[in-house]
Amino acid sequence: MKIRTGFALAALAAALGLAPDIAAAQRLESMTLANNLGTVLSSEQFCGLEFNQQAIQAFIEKNVKADDMGFAGTLQMMISGHQVENQQMSPSAKTAHCAQIARVAKSYGFIK
Report the alpha-carbon distance of residue 62 to residue 35 in Å, rounded: 17
Report the alpha-carbon distance of residue 100 to residue 106 in Å, rounded: 10
Proportion of the chain in helix, strand, coil states, percent, rounded to 5: 70, 0, 30
**54-109, pLDDT tens digit by residue?**
999 999 999 999 999 999 999 999 999 999 999 999 999 999 999 999 999 999 99
**45-54, pLDDT tens digit by residue?**
999 999 999 9
Report the alpha-carbon distance of residue 86 to residue 41 in Å, rounded: 12
Report domain extents, the chain: 23-107
Report the alpha-carbon distance of residue 66 to residue 82 in Å, rounded: 25
